Structure 1
């Protein structure tokens, strides 16, 4: 069975983003960490470490990667392997902060659905924006997350630390997965991760965007399985 796997979900996402992996892992112990009950990255990390097994494999997607960096800072001895998906290490700059504040203002004005619809083109590459199955999953995850949780997640992301200075301290096998058409994180962000995390490896998934686990499970599932079994 191997070590337990702890999954950290991104913003406005639910367990559904992991479904292809969960379906493939019927014989593994898998825990999906709570990404709704705090408004700081530190709070998310504390809750995860309080509830996680003594030693585990850690997989973080997007905002979940930010939490993973905090877990690695606090308890590196508890993490056996690390997978980072569609994430980045740097803190927000002025433009990103302004965009997030704009989202907060819209949600507080009762326009949560407007924000969700504005984000859809960012989540998916142009070729997939007509895929009603994927769009439906994204909208359903956002609806299940809700406006108040979205606001808390935005505040946590806006206040997060720059993780770049500590990446060199990560000393566990690390796999970085990125969809080549990701509209939120760039290839430069991924190359920075692998340049600063010793021994890490980047896997680029052609044609996929930010929700690469849903868009290309036929690529991602074997990638992660091979990494876990190595």
Structure 2
């Protein structure tokens, strides 16, 4: 099926220290349905580690994403982000509303109400809940990014969470779907409800049997959720 003009392109935004590889299962689902799907690697992370001399902060990553978006001359796109990638997507959407048709925030992190130690512990709790294949992909990406750079990125993401994340969300004016896996120890139900309330037009959903990376462990369920969201909120009148 060829891409439909009424369906925006999807841009998939990975989390801290990772590459876009763990979005491949979801990307394949949408490509098979005829959608245009782009999966950038943010500078300073994994395979794009050399693109930044130091670990970029969330704002720098959002600026880099906007530069990439302009270079490709993309129209308004649907951003699908995971974990700390949700902070990047929120910063991007707040600064570039004309580039965004909608947001899907999967397991948004980091929660400003939780300490860095607590959130690191929650990340460790998530490990046994994820598919073994994902753990291999993540471990490989983290090794390429490097432990020192991952730690620096985590500190900068914590700072953005405390200072800017909620303010950026409050500036988001496009339809937003906030999703968590039922077993996600990082993004709680109360937190995703708050995220949905902060944006101008938000709603929530939960995927049974999935954890923090629900887009990887349950790509069919995630694709169905996103497709319904796009059909109901983004296509507009026929």
Q: TM-score range by the shorter chain?
A: 0.7 to 0.9
Q: 1:31 pairs with 16, 21, 38, which one? A: 38
Taking the aligned partners of 1:32 and 1:171, their CA distance within structure 2 comes to 23
Q: Which runs of 5+ in 1 are unaligned?
A: 104-114
Q: 1:180 pairs with 179, 182, 198, which one? A: 182
Render the CA deviation track for 1:91-120: whole Å, top value 9, x for unaligned: 365x31x568xx8xxxxxxxxxxx9xx955
Question: 1:52-201, aligned counterparts within 5 Å?
Answer: 52=69, 53-88=74-109, 90-91=111-112, 93=114, 95-96=115-116, 98=117, 119-125=123-129, 131-160=131-160, 161-201=163-203
Contact preservation (8 Å) 1:89, 1:164: no
Look up the match of 1:46. 63
Taking the aligned partners of 2:224 and 2:144, their CA distance within structure 1 comes to 29
Give TM-score, length-normalised by structure 1: 0.78
Cα shift at 1:139: 2.4
Q: 1:9 pairs with 3, 6, 14, which one? A: 14
Render the CA deviation track for 1:190-219: whole Å, top value 9, x for unaligned: 010122223321110122111111211221
Instruction: Name the CA shift for 1:210/1:123 in 2 (closer, same or farther; >3 Å).
Output: farther
Taking the aligned partners of 2:90 and 2:127, their CA distance within structure 1 comes to 22
Render the CA deviation track for 1:10-59: whole Å, top value 9, x for unaligned: 01322222111111132333222333245211100110101112421111
- Secondary structure of the residue that 1:13 maps to in structure 2? coil
Taking the aligned partners of 1:227 and 1:68, their CA distance within structure 2 comes to 17
Look up the match of 2:48. none
Q: CA RMSD in A?
A: 2.6
Instruction: Name the CA shift for 1:155/1:39 in 2 (closer, same or farther; >3 Å).
Output: farther
Q: How many residues align?
A: 209
Taking the aligned partners of 2:22 and 2:175, their CA distance within structure 1 comes to 23
Taking the aligned partners of 2:128 and 2:214, their CA distance within structure 1 comes to 9
